[in-house]
Chains A and B, each alone.
Chain A
Amino acid sequence: MAEEAKGGGLEFHPMDQFIIKPLFGDAGDQVGMFTITNATFWMAAAILAIAALMILGTRGRAVVPTRTQSVAELAYGFVYKMVEDVAGKDGLKYFPYIMTLFLFILFSNFLGLIPMSFTTTSHIAVTAILAMAVFLAVTILGFVKNGASFLGLFWVSSAPLALRPILALIELISYFVRPVSHSIRLAGNMMAGHAVLKVFAGFAQVAAVAPIAIFGVVAIYGLEVLVSAIQAYVFTILTCVYLKDALHPSH
């Protein structure tokens, strides 16, 4: 009601951009498990963009790389070095999965910045699946690689003996909230940032503050580009940290 008092009023709600709509048929149609929605479309767009970058980029295999090839090589080298630095040499076996995660999140975030598009990573349903996959993979991997000694992750052997049961409890809780914080960090950052963009865009139709609001939108957009890249990086590097814990569980 406060918006209407300003004259004109907001014609859209800032959270409207996150509504999942069926791509074909009416907007009010029931969304089932296999309905093709805007989320499906933008996820497919992200996959196609990654495939295009990687296939077109590496097709020439030139010694002096073209622009596309150097972008593809930079992305590869960046993630490769991150896995090697954080997870160690034996973590490199799992590099393809981490590379896939990084590129999917990065491209989903960036495609979501196109006006009128839809950010798939702003939905907890998407990020929770990504985070649960990492969590399950890392837990199973830890038990397969280390057997029962994987539980040493929860037994802080450097602490005094009396403190260890309490620390074990804390470690156990912090282990099981990993997928929660891992997924909500990404979804929350994306959702909040895009909602702020839309709120500033809504101010732009109030004539008195329109010039400031337009500068605000531009500034927030720049910030969002940064946040998109950083959140993809943070998600990936945390995956590497969890992988390192699974491979070398001792404290």
Chain B
Amino acid sequence: MEGNIAQMGQFIGAGLAAIGSGAAAIGVGHVAGNFLAGALRNPSAAAGQTATLFIGIAFAEALGIFSFLVALLLMFAV
């Protein structure tokens, strides 16, 4: 065992921040699933909405990226 307690806190914090990535995954799945549910009800309108789908996914993912950023900062910058 080596290292100090501050480093341990850093690693635990980075691991906790990684939970946010899972939360973002739930959000992205929700967007995609709802799109599919709507698309199967009205397939003719679905093709025009794929751009909206990707924009929605990108915005849902953005907040997961911030938790990833926090994890990166804790691992390498603090």
Smallest Cβ-Cβ distance to A82: which chain B residue: B51
| B58 touching A85, Cβ below 8 Å | no
Contacting A188 at CB < 8 Å: which of B55, B58, B68? B68
User: What residues of B have a CB within 8 angstroms of the CB of A177 in the complex?
Assistant: 62, 66
The answer to whether residues A180 and B69 also contact, given A185-B62, A238-B58 and a CB cut-off of 8 A, is: yes
1/0 per residue A74-88: CB within 8 Å of B?
000000001001100
A82 to B54, CA, bound (A): 12
Q: A241 interface residue, CB < 8 Å from B?
A: yes
A109 to chain B, nearest CB (A): 16
Secondary structure at chain A's binding surface: helix, strand, loop or mixed?
Answer: helix
Smallest Cβ-Cβ distance to A124: which chain B residue: B72
Smallest Cβ-Cβ distance to B69: which chain A residue: A184
Interface residues on A, range: 10 to 19
| A185 touching B69, Cβ below 8 Å | no
Q: How many A-B residue pairs have CB under 8 A?
A: 32
| B54 touching A234, Cβ below 8 Å | yes
| A238 touching B51, Cβ below 8 Å | no
Q: A35 interface residue, CB < 8 Å from B?
A: no
| A237 touching B54, Cβ below 8 Å | yes
In chain B between 35 and 78, which residues have their CB closer than 8 angstroms to a CB of chain A? 51, 54-55, 57-58, 61-62, 65-66, 68-69
| A184 touching B65, Cβ below 8 Å | yes
Q: A143 interface residue, CB < 8 Å from B?
A: no
Question: Interface of B with A (CB < 8 Å)?
Answer: 51, 54-55, 57-58, 61-62, 65-66, 68-69
Give the 4 A-B CB pairs with smallest separation, nearest first: A181-B62, A184-B65, A234-B58, A181-B65
20 A–B pairs (Cβ distance < 8 Å), ordered by A: A82-B51, A85-B51, A177-B62, A180-B66, A180-B69, A181-B62, A181-B65, A181-B66, A184-B68, A184-B69, A185-B58, A185-B61, A185-B65, A188-B68, A230-B54, A233-B54, A234-B54, A234-B58, A238-B55, A238-B58
Further contacts, 5 of them, CB under 8 A, given A177-B62, A184-B68, A230-B54: A180-B69, A181-B62, A181-B65, A184-B65, A237-B55
